Structure 1
Amino acid sequence: MYVTTPGGGDGSLRLAARDRHVWALFTDWCAATDQPPIPATPHHLARFLHDNPAAPATQRRRVSVINTAHRRQGHPAPGTDEAIRRALNATRGAQLRRVSAVVAKRLPQIPIAGWPAGLFGRRDGLILALAAAGVGFEQIARLRRRDITATGDHSAPLLLSVGRERIDLPESPEIPMVSIYLEWTEVLGFLDQNHGTRTIARHFEAGRDLAGFDTAYRTDYRPLLTPINRWGHTPLAPAPLTARSVAAITHAHLSGKAPAHTLPPRRSRPDTAPDMHSIDGNRDLDTHYYERGTQARRSAHQDLTDVTDLLDDIEDRADQLLAELASILDDVT
């Protein structure tokens, strides 16, 4: 059975009869504290839960009802805030605290300068910070540039949009979320204004600052995090990281096995040009040259058949990495 009950704002909302007392308790508390029930902020919801203690299951039920009421009136659900989720789930809170502690130790070791290590470091630092904040790998992989906004005030949290939900990503001395985010958006802004990897490589190699290139992406639907190849090139057509790649990057840093990301050695060029031989039109070819050529191609074809097995082995190793990571970051997703 559903009943219509005041929504605390314009319009009304329909709640199941068993949820009426929860909503009534919340609206009474809001009236007593001179706060509107809709929209309620995560801070106000946390105060409500503190002022009305109950068993964890009861508190989770209350948050679920309040979230439902907000969604039905087109407002962000305050109960999706990470701080509230941790408070209601002791296991999740303990796991994320452990992850945050490891991330806080790893972040100072990740370079944000030098080429191409600084490019990788800025992207990976944001991935680690988001994972420590409780954002799942699938969510991280799906993030678009417009999904995160910063006020410019380093004491204010980042605001993350996932679907219709709004999540605060708080700043802390151990994990300076805003600074980490801006370091990566400086890269994105620079690449938007200066096409070509060589230009940004020169900036990193010279130790130049990228400050001022960060841009607000309020309507930009391009992926926030993209692949980077070993030479520091990002895709010409915007392409997001996969959830598996996000998990592998996180695992590598948390386990202390992240690659150094140094450029492969350049091939040395001979000082002198090779001797040029003129074509001898009167030279006779070996009578067995054709058989040797077809045999070489047959051998090459046989060698290339192992490539599929090699790729399968790489995928199996990636699956193994993901499984190991699950044991470290259980419930993060």
Structure 2
Amino acid sequence: MHDHDELERVGMLLPARHRARWSLFTDWCIGVGATPIPADRETLIGFVRANPAALSTQRERLAAVRAAHMHAQVPVPAKADARAVRGGGGHEWPSSEAAQVVAALPSAGWPSGLFGRRDALLLVLSKAAGMSYGQIERLQRSQVRVVNSTLQVQVGQVWIQVPANDDPRMCPAAVFLRWARLLAYVDRWPSTAAVAAALAKAQPMTAQSQESYAALPQVVRDGPLVVPIDRWGGLGMGRWRQSARARWGLSATAIGEIVAAHLSGNGGRHVGSGWDGLPRMPELEDEPDSPPVSTLSDVDPAVGWHARARAQEQLANVRETLNDVEREAEALAARIAAILADDNE
């Protein structure tokens, strides 16, 4: 956008402290032939390098640019690290430490591929899109999309854009699509065993792999984008937030711990089976001198009848016990809901 009147109109919507910085940015863009709004991350980096200043000043300038995009209701460019780019060092996403970690995370195999796909997306959202851990916790599946190989994430009323990369292992859009397709698969086949079988057969990603940017299936049920994973590979549904009337995903604290662990080289390696270079589950072999396996014809039916009779006697009161537990759980849930309602008033 080079319409001077429109750029001035946007500037007048800004707080007074941002107007001079916004004017500096638009003048520089027009001078070098760049688009001031919507600006991309490369434009922000070029602006910072071409206009040396103290770190605090550069951060205030970038904040003014992002505020102008929000007022104009256009996609906000992904955050540029003023500390990294102001000296011209070239701190691009593909050469960043986080991108290298993402490229090394497994996308296939069980359960390593499951954790690898989710954790790669956490790093992309945090380090490439510049989102806070709290924003990632609240992020819903319907708030992320891929348009022309560009990852777009909705934060509030604006969309943050994260450009694509040629390496499919670390390309932000490709990383998101691998996790989103897995969630779509779970929508259709809500079975941990089915997910395990699919990931165990999947091929690992390499720098030469061809990533499909085809449209995702329609979301069957909206919900948190990043969710907790238990030790058996089961996907959680997130935690219900009464104030938001929605489910939030993996907690901000857990997200921070996972990101920090990967960046420090201490990210978990979940051993399992599949095409990820990790050890496969050992196959047990019979010892040469082991006794032969019994067949059904070797089993005395009376043993089974007696076992069934004992089980029925021992479990006779289970139904009533479970009913008592269910009633207690409902009463506890009602008390918790009442407490939350009182807190919100």
Give TM class, smaller chain: 0.5 to 0.7
Residue aligning to 1:223 = 224
1:187 Cα deviation from its structure 2 partner: 0.6
AA of the residue aligned to 1:250: V
SS in 2 for 1:161: strand
Between the aligned partners of 1:11 and 1:260, the Cα distance in structure 2 is 50
**Sequence identity of aligned pairs in percent?**
31
For the pair 1:258 / 2:289, whether they are aligned, the reply is no
Report whether the alignment pairs 1:276 with 2:306: yes
For the residues of structure 2 that align with 1:219 and 1:89, how far apart are their CA atoms?
44
- The residue type paired with residue 123 of structure 1 is R
Task: Identify if the C-alpha distance between structure 1 residues 185 and 7 changes in structure 2 by more than 3 Å, giving closer, same or farther.
Answer: same
2:331 aligns with none
2:133 maps to a residue whose letter is: F
Give the equivalent residue in structure 2 for 1:74: 73
Aligned residue number for residue 162 of structure 1: 155
Residues 191 and 18 of structure 1: CA distance in aligned 2, closer, same or farther (over 3 Å):
closer
Deviation at 1:230, TM superposition (A): 2.3
Look up the match of 1:181.
176
1:122 maps onto 2:117 in alignment: yes
**1:41-52 to 2 correspondences below 5 Å:** 41-52=40-51
Contact 2:137 2:226 in 1 (8 A): yes
**Whole-angstrom distance in 2 between the partners of 1:250 and 1:177:** 16
Whole-Å separation in 1 of the counterparts to 2:190 and 2:220: 21
Report if aligned partners of 2:48, 2:85 keep a CA contact under 8 Å in 1: no
Structure 1 position 145, deviation (Å): 1.5
Distance (whole Å) between structure 2 residues aligned to residue 262 and residue 187 of structure 1 = 18
Give the counterpart letter for 1:189 in structure 2. Answer: A
Q: Of 255, 280, 301, which residue of structure 2 is paired with 1:246?
A: 255
CA deviation map 1:147-194 (0-9, x unaligned): 3222363xxx42222223433334454733333222211211111222
Are 2:133 and 1:137 equivalent residues in the alignment?
yes
Match of 2:343 in 1: none
Cα displacement (A) at 1:207: 4.4
The CA distance in 2 between the partners of 1:278 and 1:76, in whole Å, is 65
Q: Quote the offset at 1:123 in angstroms.
A: 1.6
In structure 1, distance between residues paired with 2:80 and 2:174: 20
Q: Deviations over 1:252-275 (max 9, x none)?
A: 44443515255999xxxx965557
Q: Distance in 2 between matches of 1:130 and 1:33?
A: 30
Displacement of 1:223 in angstroms is: 1.0
Query: Which of 101, 104, 125 does residue 100 from structure 2 map onto?
Result: 104
- The answer for unaligned runs of 5 or more in structure 2 is 205-210, 239-246, 274-280, 283-292, 311-345
24-33 or 158-167: bigger deviation = 24-33
State how far apart, in whole Å, the 2-side matches of 1:106 and 1:14 are. 39
Cα separation, partners in 2 of 1:189 and 1:8, compared to 1, 3 Å: same
Structure 1 residues without counterparts, runs of 5 or longer? 281-333
CA-atom RMSD in angstroms: 4.6
- Helix, strand or coil: the match of 1:226? coil
Amino acid paired to 2:153: L
Q: 1:100 Cα shift? A: 4.2
Deviations 1:191-230 (A, max 9, x none): 1222333333332344489979971668974211112222
CA contact (8 A) 1:227 1:241 kept: yes
Q: 2:144 aligns with which of 134, 148, 159?
A: 148
TM-score w.r.t. the length of structure 1 is 0.59
Q: Could you state the TM-score of these two structures normalised by the residue count of structure 2?
A: 0.57
